[in-house]
Chains A and B, each alone.
Chain A
Amino acid sequence: MEKNAAVNAEAVDVDGAAVGEAALPQKKQRKPINQQKLQDNLWGWIFCLPLIVGTVWFVFICLVAAILLSFTDYSVMDGSMFGFLGEMGEHIYTTSEGVVEPFHWYTYAFTHTIKISPAIEMNEMGVYLFNTVFYMIGIPIGMILAMFFAVCMTRDIPGANVFRVIYYFPCVASTVSIVYTFRLMFNQEGVINQLFGLNINWINTTGAASLTWNSLTGGSSTSAFMIDPFWCQGFFSKLVIIIMSVWKGLGGTIILYIAGLSGVNAATKEAAQIDGANGWQIFWKVTMPDLYPTIFYNIVTAVIGGMQIYAEPELLKAQDPMLSGYVALIWATGMNDITARPSQGAAYGMILAVMIILLTLVQFYLDSKNKD
């Protein structure tokens, strides 16, 4: 910005000089170059301006506002957010006893507990975080399946392109439609249970009943490992969401792998073949190392996306601590209605941001270690 202003000022100087140049023609040769530079700078900034404005407005200002909000006690009913933040000094979170606690929402997030069943009381954020991480089981499953299909599709067989298109269909379909279809298909008397001869209550719709192993399967297990623990609460509903997200995400991953596989050096493969390597060895020793960047990219984006899972559990069963991902917590505390506290949601959002950054850094660290 400053640099450009300086350049503009310089250009104005040149223009000013141009006025006087009629009298002094010997200085003329500098002018055309600067004119071109001025044009470049002017139009470069003009063409880029909408994107810069949009990014600064909807990302950076919002990011700063979110960070500031998380130390205050703002609700939408307090009026304009910008006015509120403008006099932020007066609005830092204060308890009813008058103690100033800027980190109130953060301590709240780490200490607030909820009852998830008559016997179990847990940290609320921990519950939602557990669900989010549980859904990430789908990432490795999806990646292995996608790799398998992608290898099949890159064989020299006619009609491989048709399969590519068919596998991508679930990716373009609306999440809402798919969730409503799966919800009916996974009914207790529904298609899936019929086809596989199961009697699993995949989606417990009563809500009030505790979602234990026994109530879901109709079994009578007495093992404490199966009835009480937290991990099997709503287990089958989570499985439905994992199945659904794997099914929905498969096509995109397959296409990435096909792009990666077509970039594998064919000459190396052939050389390995001549040296007597079989298909299995070629895949692990030649193809996989070349494919590594694609896989790494895939894992990083999948983890970032997986941390932000929201719509699927929300549509399957609205705002259920057994099922919802972490983002549902931000929604529920920050913006579900007019009395909600965006400050609290912003604090949860900042915690999520830190977690995503840490996860990504860990992945890059493991990646760099792997390369040595």
Chain B
Amino acid sequence: MTDNIVNEVEVEEKKYSPIRYAWGAFLAFFGISSATHRASKKRKKLVGDIVCYIVLLFGAFLSVYPFWWMVAAGFADTSNTAIGTTILNRLVWWPSQSTLDPGYTHGAFYNYSQFMTKTFQNVFARLTFWRALVNNLIYSIVPVVIGVITSASAAFSFAKIQWYGRDFIFFILLAAIMVPGACIMTAQFSMYQVLGWRDNGLCLIIPGIFGSIMTAFFIRQFLYGLPTSIIEAAKIDGAGYFRIFCGFILPLAMPAIMAQGLLSFMGCWNNYMGSYIFIPQNSLAVNLPHALSVFDKNVTSIEGGYGVVLAGAVFCVLPVMILFACFQRTIISSLMLTGSKE
């Protein structure tokens, strides 16, 4: 009983304490309700939004900063190897000696021009930036364009045509997704060696033109949303399946095909691992990221120092960045639909 009374007294004392009252008012100002003050809903939302903005801006800064650092280092004047490393180490926002400085004689884009003109000192062959760039364009355009069309045709046949063995084949393809790529890498390597696809880079082209299962599944999902009556109507008007595919399915599924094509283009452009594993180090067929790593290993023999490597890194990143910035709406909505990360 006595305990109870003491408690009540305490509570009453708390209620009328001016410090507590002020604290409540202070919290209410920041949108937090307490016993003394009730924060308005509007204030609550405003404060929440501001906190969210701060958090998101901080995260966005962290996402962008390494890219900024990469670009800034691409303009660093590291041609003097003795102080070049120190310049890059001291670089926080902008290099202390940059190629954009007024007194600099070689031109503002010296590092970039070095990267574009020097050979990468491959052991036997003379690999240049242009060769690697052309390789990379071939590896990322040919398999993607043809592969997306073959995937779309497979998707069409799964979604809109009834044929015997369809479910069985679908199950087989599902099983193929579950085979981890790294586990069958050595067998693929031996097979490409036998077929002679390693030195000329065919090993990065031919597997791609047969289409990808994930792409086919996504386009199939998209095609389910299209009314079958279009196809029925076309059939009645006398169109064959090939005509239907070219004239109706490809144009109608274009959003899905575009999104998947862009995603696979980015994947192929950045495919360092495929090139590094399958293509010999001294071949001319390496792709751009792989060529950059070759360049990095020989950087000491190239005038310009590490700034040139970073300029090359910018070259690797820039095309996909521009592509992503242009088509971000398509790409992100497709990612949200499929739930795949790449």
Q: Which of B186, B310, B313 contacts A335 (CB 8 A)?
A: B186
Whether A174 and B163, one on each chain, are in contact in the complex, defined by CB atoms closer than 8 angstroms, is no
Nearest CB in chain B to that of A331: its residue: B277
Q: Kindly supply a per-residue 1/0 record for chain A positions 165-194, scoring 1 wherever the CB is within 8 Å of any chain B CB and 0 otherwise.
A: 111111111111110111011010111001
Whether A259 and B339, one on each chain, are in contact in the complex, defined by CB atoms closer than 8 angstroms, is yes
Whether A180 and B89, one on each chain, are in contact in the complex, defined by CB atoms closer than 8 angstroms, is no
Size range of the chain A interface in the assembly: 35 or more
Chain B residue contacts of A339, Cβ below 8 A: none
Of B7-15, B21-29, B315-323, the one with at least 4 CB within 8 A of chain A: B315-323
**Distance (whole angstroms) from the CB of A247 to the closest CB of chain B:** 7
Whether A81 and B190, one on each chain, are in contact in the complex, defined by CB atoms closer than 8 angstroms, is yes
Nearest CB in chain B to that of A260: its residue: B339
Whether A3 and B164, one on each chain, are in contact in the complex, defined by CB atoms closer than 8 angstroms, is yes
Q: Which of B163, B185, B189, B211 contacts A50 (CB 8 A)?
A: B211
| A63 CB-CB contact with B under 8 Å | yes
Q: Kindly supply a per-residue 1/0 record for chain A positions 316-355, scoring 1 wherever the CB is within 8 Å of any chain B CB and 0 otherwise.
A: 0000000000110011001100000011011001101100
Whether A152 and B189, one on each chain, are in contact in the complex, defined by CB atoms closer than 8 angstroms, is no
Whether B293 and A181, one on each chain, are in contact in the complex, defined by CB atoms closer than 8 angstroms, is no
Asked, given contacts A169-B67, A184-B310, whether A66 binds B89 with beta carbons under 8 Å apart, the answer is no
Whether A41 and B272, one on each chain, are in contact in the complex, defined by CB atoms closer than 8 angstroms, is no
Q: Which of A47, A167, A172, A259 contacts B324 (CB 8 A)?
A: A172
Residues from 230 to 283 in A contacting B, C-beta threshold 8 Å: 247, 249-253, 255-256, 258-259
Residues from 271 to 305 in A contacting B, C-beta threshold 8 Å: 294, 297, 301, 304
Inter-chain CA distance A128–B207, complex, in Å, is 29
Whether A155 and B52, one on each chain, are in contact in the complex, defined by CB atoms closer than 8 angstroms, is yes
Chain B residue contacts of A185, Cβ below 8 A: 66, 69
**Distance (whole angstroms) from the CB of B328 to the closest CB of chain A:** 5
| A58 CB-CB contact with B under 8 Å | yes
Nearest CB in chain B to that of A169: its residue: B63
Whether B272 and A175, one on each chain, are in contact in the complex, defined by CB atoms closer than 8 angstroms, is yes
**Distance (whole angstroms) from the CB of B50 to the closest CB of chain A:** 10
Q: Kindly supply a per-residue 1/0 record for chain B positions 200-214, scoring 1 wherever the CB is within 8 Å of any chain A CB and 0 otherwise.
A: 000000010111010
Chain A residue contacts of B157, Cβ below 8 A: 43-48
Whether A44 and B341, one on each chain, are in contact in the complex, defined by CB atoms closer than 8 angstroms, is no
Nearest CB in chain B to that of A5: its residue: B164
Chain B residue contacts of A52, Cβ below 8 A: 154, 169, 172-173
Chain A residue contacts of B88, Cβ below 8 A: 184, 187, 190
Whether B210 and A345, one on each chain, are in contact in the complex, defined by CB atoms closer than 8 angstroms, is no
Of B54-62, B97-105, B109-117, the one with at least 4 CB within 8 A of chain A: B54-62
Whether B150 and A50, one on each chain, are in contact in the complex, defined by CB atoms closer than 8 angstroms, is yes
| B124 CB-CB contact with A under 8 Å | no
Whether B210 and A4, one on each chain, are in contact in the complex, defined by CB atoms closer than 8 angstroms, is no
Chain B residue contacts of A167, Cβ below 8 A: 59-60, 63
Q: Which of B85, B182, B194 contacts A82 (CB 8 A)?
A: B194
Chain B residue contacts of A148, Cβ below 8 A: 55
Inter-chain CA distance A160–B49, complex, in Å, is 11
Whether A48 and B153, one on each chain, are in contact in the complex, defined by CB atoms closer than 8 angstroms, is yes
Nearest CB in chain A to that of B278: its residue: A335
Asked, given contacts A59-B176, A184-B88, A353-B179, whether A48 binds B154 with beta carbons under 8 Å apart, the answer is yes
| A1 CB-CB contact with B under 8 Å | yes
Whether B320 and A173, one on each chain, are in contact in the complex, defined by CB atoms closer than 8 angstroms, is yes
Chain B residue contacts of A345, Cβ below 8 A: 185-186, 189
Whether A74 and B86, one on each chain, are in contact in the complex, defined by CB atoms closer than 8 angstroms, is no
| B342 CB-CB contact with A under 8 Å | yes
Pull 27 A–B residue pairs with CB atoms less than 8 Å apart, ordered by A. Answer: A1-B165, A3-B164, A40-B161, A47-B153, A48-B169, A51-B154, A51-B213, A51-B216, A54-B211, A55-B213, A62-B188, A65-B191, A81-B193, A149-B55, A149-B59, A152-B55, A152-B56, A166-B60, A169-B324, A174-B270, A174-B289, A189-B86, A189-B89, A190-B89, A256-B336, A331-B277, A345-B185
Chain B residues at the A interface, C-beta cutoff of 8 Å: 48-49, 52-53, 55-56, 59-60, 62-64, 66-67, 69-70, 73, 85-86, 88-92, 150-151, 153-154, 156-158, 161-166, 169, 172-173, 176, 179-191, 193-194, 207, 209-211, 213, 216, 240-242, 245, 266, 269-270, 272-273, 276-277, 289-290, 292-293, 296, 306, 309-310, 312-314, 316-317, 320-321, 324-325, 328, 332, 335-337, 339, 341-342
Chain A residues at the B interface, C-beta cutoff of 8 Å: 1, 3-4, 7, 39-41, 43-48, 50-55, 57-63, 65-66, 69, 74, 76, 80-82, 148-149, 152-153, 155, 157, 160, 163-178, 180-182, 184-185, 187, 189-191, 194-195, 247, 249-253, 255-256, 258-259, 294, 297, 301, 304, 307-308, 310-311, 314-315, 326-327, 330-331, 334-335, 342-343, 345-346, 349-350, 352-353, 356
